[in-house]
């Protein structure tokens, strides 16, 4: 049985190392997901209004999975060093459950990222921006969120519409029903503003003179942070899971080699 001892001794080192890495990655995953959930770019109302905020659900799961990975990695290290079968069995089973949750989070984030297209935000903007007749409180909340977010987006990023100001001309919108086309070819926030928050040249803005209105679209400002968010959750989680697979497989092998 000397050979078995050697096997075990050889495996202990890599397994402990593997668990240390899992622990650190778990902390990193928790931190990253907390960052995403805190919504630093203020884009959550847009997602909320699509009634599909899977990316945020994935990030929330990521927070708890990261913490679980950290705790379980400590259990794993203790189990490997002590060569305790019970501990390691508990470790393996709990790790598999955590693995399943993290898998769900990764797949959800990756799937939802495909869902976020320019047309989605265009349709939402046209239907919800400055909508005044809302049916219930929930809709009013979502509509106000969309309006405030768009106003902030257009002001801060010097952009207009999803693809450009022509969005407001090519399509009818709820905004158009309350604001006439002659006075508001596009919302006021599409105009270049001065320090006091009023347009530098209102006539120039209405005419569309370059320099007095924002001629580029806001889609980059929306999709950039959202793609980072989705990729961060999905692919970092995927990397962690690949590593965890190796460690778990090694732990199973180690467990079967421990003397009873």
Partner 1 sequence: RPRHPGTRTMLPLLLLLLATAHSLADKEYVPTLATSPLGGLKTTSTFVLEQPRCAFTKVQSDAVIWLVVAVPEAVANFSNSVEPGTPERAFQGFPDSTPAYMTLNTTLLNYPCPKPPGEITVLRVGSETSCATDKTRPTCNGPLPGPGPYRVKFLALKGSKPVAETAWSKPITLKTALPPSSIPATGGGRSTGMIALTSILSILFAVLLAGLVAMLFFWGSHARGSGTFSKPEAVTVRRYNTHHVYDQPAARL
Q: Measured between alpha carbons, how far is 31 from 59 in angstroms, rounded to an integer?
A: 10
Three-state SS at 193: strand
Helices 118-128 & 219-257 angle (0-180, nearest 10):
130
Strand partners, 213: 191, 210
Q: Residue from 46, 122, 218, 226 that binds partner 1 (CB under 8 A)?
A: 122
Rule CB under 8 A: is residue 255 a binding residue for partner 1? yes
Contacts of 33 (CB under 8 A, 6+ apart): 59, 60, 62, 63, 66, 233
Q: Residue from 90, 176, 201, 221 that binds partner 1 (CB under 8 A)?
A: 176
Spatial contact of 192 and 213, defined as CB atoms under 8 Å apart: yes
Shortest approach of partner 1 to residue 52 CB, angstroms? 10
Q: Residue from 169, 192, 193, 219 that binds partner 1 (CB under 8 A)?
A: 169
Spatial contact of 206 and 185, defined as CB atoms under 8 Å apart: yes
Rule CB under 8 A: is residue 123 a binding residue for partner 1? yes
Q: Measured between alpha carbons, how far is 143 from 40 in angstroms, rounded to an integer?
A: 20
Cβ closest to partner 1, residue 33 vs residue 95: 95
Q: Residue from 173, 187, 223, 233 that binds partner 1 (CB under 8 A)?
A: 173
Q: What are phi and psi of 42, to 5 degrees?
A: 70, 30
Q: Which of residues 226-245 bind partner 1 (CB under 8 A)?
A: 234-235, 238, 241-242, 245
Rule CB under 8 A: is residue 146 a binding residue for partner 1? no
Strand partners, 199: 193
Spatial contact of 106 and 237, defined as CB atoms under 8 Å apart: yes
Count of chain residues binding partner 1 (CB under 8 A): 57
Q: Hey, what are 218's tokens?
A: 């806001």
Q: Residue from 11, 21, 28, 107 that binds partner 1 (CB under 8 A)?
A: 107
* Of 8-16, 40-48, 60-68, 110-118: span binding partner 1 (CB under 8 A): 110-118
Rule CB under 8 A: is residue 210 a binding residue for partner 1? yes
Rule CB under 8 A: is residue 96 a binding residue for partner 1? yes
Neighbouring C-beta atoms of residue 257, cutoff 10 Å: 14
Residues that bind partner 1 (CB under 8 A): 1-2, 92-93, 96, 99-100, 103, 106-107, 110-111, 113-117, 119-120, 122-123, 126-127, 165-166, 169-173, 176, 180-183, 185, 203, 206-210, 213, 215, 234-235, 238, 241-242, 245, 248-249, 252, 255-256, 259-260
């Amino acid at each position: 049985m000397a050979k078995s001892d050697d096997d075990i001794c050889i495996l202990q080192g890599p397994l402990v190392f593997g668990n240390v890495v899992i622990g650190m990655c778990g902390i990193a995953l928790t931190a990253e997901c907390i960052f995403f959930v805190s919504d630093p770019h203020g884009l959550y109302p847009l997602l909320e209004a699509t009634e599909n905020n899977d990316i945020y659900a994935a990030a929330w799961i990521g927070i708890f999975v990261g913490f679980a990975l950290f705790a379980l990695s400590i259990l794993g290290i203790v189990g490997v060093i002590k060569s305790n079968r019970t501990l390691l069995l508990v470790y393996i089973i709990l790790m598999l459950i955590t693995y399943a949750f993290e898998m769900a989070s990764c797949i959800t984030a990756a799937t939802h990222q495909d869902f976020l297209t320019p047309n989605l935000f265009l349709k939402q903007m046209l239907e919800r921006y400055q909508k005044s007749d809302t049916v219930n409180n929930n809709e009013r909340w979502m509509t106000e969120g969309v309006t405030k977010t768009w106003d902030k987006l257009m002001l801060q990023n010097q952009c207009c519409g999803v693809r450009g100001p022509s969005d407001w001309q090519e399509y009818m919108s709820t905004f158009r029903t309350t604001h006439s086309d002659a006075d508001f070819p596009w919302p006021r926030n599409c105009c270049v503003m001065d320090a006091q928050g009023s347009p530098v040249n209102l006539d120039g803005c209405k005419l569309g003179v370059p320099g007095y209105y924002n001629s580029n679209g806001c889609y980059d400002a929306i999709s950039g942070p959202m793609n980072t968010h989705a990729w961060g959750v999905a692919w970092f989680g995927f990397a962690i899971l690949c590593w965890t697979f190796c460690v778990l497989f090694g732990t199973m092998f180690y467990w079967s080699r421990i003397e009873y």
